[in-house]
Amino acid sequence: MAHFTKATSLHDWLNQRLGIDTVRRVMATEYWIPKNINFLWAMGMVLAITFGLLLISGIFLLMYYQPNVELAFDSVNYTIMQEVGYGWLWRHIHGVAASVVFLIIYIHMFTGIYYGSYKKGREMIWISGMLLFVAFSAEAFSGYMLPWGQMSYWAGMVITNLFAGGSLHADGLVEWIRGDYVPAQAFLNRFFMLHVLLIPLAILGLIGLHFGALRIPHVNNQDGEEIDFEAEAAKYKSGDKAGSKVIAFVNDFMSKDMMVVGIYLVFFFYLVFYHYDFAMDPVNFDPADGLKTPAHIYPEWYFLWSYEILRPFSTDVGLIAFAFAQVIFFALPFLDKSPNAVPASRRGLFKYWFWALLIDMIVLTAMGKLPPEGIFSTIGLVAALTFIGLWIILPFITKMEKKA
Amino acid sequence: MKNSSRRGFMGKAFGAVAGVGAVASLYAMKRSWDPLPSVKAAGFTTLDMSGYKENELVTEKWRGKPIFVLKQTADMVEKAKKNPKELERLIKIGDAYYLVCLGLCTHLGCIPGYNPDEQSFLCACHGGLYDFTGEVTKAPPPRGLDIPPFKIDGNKLVLGEEGPEYKKMLEAGTTLRA
Ligand code: HEM
Ligand code: FES
């Protein structure tokens, strides 16, 4: 049996039982971060903080929300917004965070793509990151159902219909998902369960996996340099902090991270107090009505690019293109055939590929918001074909790439 | 050696029990997501066809879904008669022809709007178009508006029951089972 001695302090008492010094050393003071990184590497922490904001505001919303088709709309728009003290604050934090979290996720993803942080041992970081993206998408969609407004209802209708698989005509599957012929009580209840329990649980587990996946390869750096972390850590510990290429996660790196988080939070709360309206679709302030479609149905901005890939084609082709767009990012580490893990700017054709993809997704996003008519239809179609084309040529252009 | 094969056996036995349990609980989970019997035993809607006006779209409700009823004008019937695919889609009650269909776009289920001047339905979601018989005239919708199961009962139409006229439409491929 382990031997315990009389504790000299509370710290010592806990340390004997939980090994808190070891935990702290492994997780913080001897977790090494390269020096050669910039503010874009703070996005992961910004995401973690934003998830925290979603969780806390969500808990307060949960105290008054009613998952019932008769009551849901009023419980949000009347009870929470007007009666509950500061209820509006939780709702605006939740709405703004749900939207901003995707902006940060996209920045975080494109940072990873730019610096090649998805290969050379970092594949699992990328894959767990994509799983987080999928989980956040499902979380955002299920949350969007809850106020039971017109956009909730019709987005629920359109998105669940995707599961009919076009000509496969799998209506049984759609009805199974909904628990009814149309979105109704069973539908609202199960999406409520998904939103407040199952998906958040999955997200927590995935965040653990994502962080765990970072542990062995460590984070990348601005030059894609392969760092000997043990040697550099030894230098740091021997007192040569200036000469070492790494710093400790806590306190060195954390203090910089928190600086970025601080700036972010000022911007975030500016949005919450003065510009929350961008995250609240006016159409969703009409209660759900199964006999009236809104003039335009469009998803929130962060789904527009993939929605626009669905739209210009006939049902079956559109569905295939859409499914392609949903999963193709997972394959990035395997489609990029070049051994170079350096910034895109030093990678020949990949540099153009990177910027083309980014611009194409912005164009798709803009077109997804506009009505599908005339010139917009054409631009949307070209952008959708470009997106697919870019992914098809990726293995070829990266194969040709010279060793950097 | 003897020991490890005994552990191997225990492992396999546990695996078998756990496997059966996992399959059984997956089945229970699947069933819990099924629509309830009360939802399934969804009702029938009876429409009195005498009240509708020509070229005026009325939206009824069946199983929570909108049902379009459009009584055809003499002009429309003339036009439809030139195209058997269109005529097949109409329901004849007495001397009058009606379009009775689900008011849900066959693309992704938005409700198209009717324009009585152009005698066509436009789906604003992704720009699909249908003519006055609900036949599709512009993609993305893959097919015309679906026709709900119906039975003609004198001057009445019962939705939810499959009458001979509906079965004929199914066989001819005029509509899918909605
Ligand atoms: C809310 C969800 C997410 C959270 C909380 C999160 C958190 C983090 C954190 C704390 C880091 C380390 C610091 C940094 O490099 O920024 C990180 C790194 C990383 N994440 Fe995420 N992440 C999320 C989503 C994603 C997504 C959607 C992807 C893309 C598929 C992704 C890909 C990566 C990659 C490639 C790295 C390594 C960066 C490097 O080595 O330089 N993450 N993440
Ligand atoms: S739902 Fe009607 S065109 Fe897409």
Q: Is A289 on the interface with B (CB under 8 A)?
A: no
The reply to whether B7 and B68 lie within a common domain is: no
Query: Is B125 close to A371, i.e. CB distance below 8 A?
Result: no
Ligand 2 lined by B125 (C-beta under 6 Å): yes
Cα B109 to its chain centre, rounded Å, is 10
The reply to whether B113 and B84 lie within a common domain is: yes
Q: What is the Å distance from ligand 1's center to A129 Cα?
A: 6
Cα A22 to its chain centre, rounded Å, is 32
The reply to whether B80 and B123 lie within a common domain is: yes
The reply to whether B23 and B103 lie within a common domain is: no
Answer whether residue B177 is part of any domain.
no
Closest Cα partner for A72 from A225, A172, A218, A183?
A183
The reply to whether B9 and B89 lie within a common domain is: no
Answer whether residue B70 is part of any domain.
yes
User: What pLDDT does A381 receive?
Assistant: 93
Q: DSSP label at B53?
A: P
The reply to whether B76 and B104 lie within a common domain is: yes
Q: Is A296 on the interface with B (CB under 8 A)?
A: yes
Mean local confidence (pLDDT), B54-67:
86
A contact residues 371-390, partner B, Cβ 8 Å cutoff: 371-373, 377
Answer whether residue B65 is part of any domain.
yes
What pLDDT, in 10s, does the model give residues A19-40?
A: 999 999 999 999 999 999 999 9
Measured from the CA of B108, which atom of ligand 2 is nearest? 1
CA distance A61 to chain B (A): 26
Q: Which residue has the tokens 């392969």?
A: A226
Query: Is B34 close to A181, i.e. CB distance below 8 A?
Result: no
The reply to whether B9 and B68 lie within a common domain is: no
Point out the residue among A176, A180, A291 whose CB comes nearest to the CB of B66: A291
Which listed ligand is nearest to A135 at the C-alpha? 1
Answer whether residue B84 is part of any domain.
yes
Q: Is A215 on the interface with B (CB under 8 A)?
A: no
Q: Which residue has the higher pLDDT, A162 or B42?
A: A162
Answer whether residue B50 is part of any domain.
yes
Confidence band, pLDDT 50/70/90 cuts, at residue B117: confident
Locate A63 and state its tokens: 């105290």
Q: Give how many domains chain B has, as a whole number.
A: 2
| pTM of the predicted model as reported, rounded to 2 decimal places | 0.85
* Chain B residues close to A297, C-beta within 8 Å: 110, 124-125
- Sequence-distant (6+) residues with CB within 8 A of B160 are B42, B43, B44, B45, B62, B63, B148, B149
Point out the residue among B108, B111, B139 whose CB comes nearest to the CB of A161: B108
The reply to whether B151 and B136 lie within a common domain is: yes
Query: Is A161 close to B126, i.e. CB distance below 8 A?
Result: no
Ligand 1 lined by A174 (C-beta under 6 Å): no
Q: Which residue has the higher pLDDT, A92 or B92?
A: A92
The reply to whether B118 and B92 lie within a common domain is: yes
Answer whether residue B178 is part of any domain.
no
- In this predicted structure, the answer to whether residue B1 has a pLDDT above a threshold of 60 is no
Locate A402 and state its tokens: 């010279």
* Chain B residues close to A186, C-beta within 8 Å: 35-36, 39
Query: With a cut of 0.95, is the ipTM above it?
Result: no
- In this predicted structure, the answer to whether residue A237 has a pLDDT above a threshold of 90 is yes
Query: Is A315 close to B141, i.e. CB distance below 8 A?
Result: yes
Q: What is the Å distance from ligand 1's center to A176 Cα?
A: 35
Range in A215-224, B40-49, B61-70 with the lowest mean pLDDT: B40-49
Best residue in B125, B138, B143, B177 for a mutation probing chain A (most A CBs within 10 Å): B125
Query: Is B64 close to A311, i.e. CB distance below 8 A?
Result: no
* Mean pLDDT score across all residues of chain A: 93
Query: Is B109 close to A161, i.e. CB distance below 8 A?
Result: yes
The reply to whether B95 and B148 lie within a common domain is: yes
Q: Which helix (H) or strand (E) holds B70?
A: strand B65-71
The reply to whether B63 and B149 lie within a common domain is: yes
Range in A48-52, B38-42, B61-65, B120-124 with the lowest mean pLDDT: B38-42
Query: Residue with the nearest Cα to atom 28 of ligand 1?
Result: A129
> Which range is most confident: A152-161, A189-198, A247-256, B106-115?
A189-198
Q: Which domain holds residue B163?
A: 40-172
Best residue in A174, A188, A283, A315 for a mutation probing chain B (most B CBs within 10 Å): A315
User: What pLDDT does A211 receive?
Assistant: 96
User: What pLDDT does B2 receive?
Assistant: 58
User: φ, ψ for residue A74 (rounded to 5)?
Assistant: -70, -35
Supply the CATH number for residue B166's domain.
2.102.10.10
Closest Cα partner for A162 from A329, A385, A322, A330?
A322
Rounded alpha-carbon distances, angstroms, from residue B18 to A293, B21, B121: 48, 5, 55
Answer whether residue B60 is part of any domain.
yes
The reply to whether B83 and B9 lie within a common domain is: no
How is B99-165 classified by DSSP, letter by letter?
A: EEEESS-TTT---PEEETTTTEEEETTTTEEEETTS-EEESS--SSPP---EEEETTEEEETS--HH
**Which residue type sits at A53?**
L
Sketch out chain A's domains with CATH numbers.
18-297 (1.20.810.10), 300-404 (1.10.287)
Range in A61-70, A243-252, A287-296 with the lowest mean pLDDT: A287-296
* Chain B residues close to A299, C-beta within 8 Å: none
Mean local confidence (pLDDT), A357-377:
90
Best residue in A168, A182, A291 for a mutation probing chain B (most B CBs within 10 Å): A291
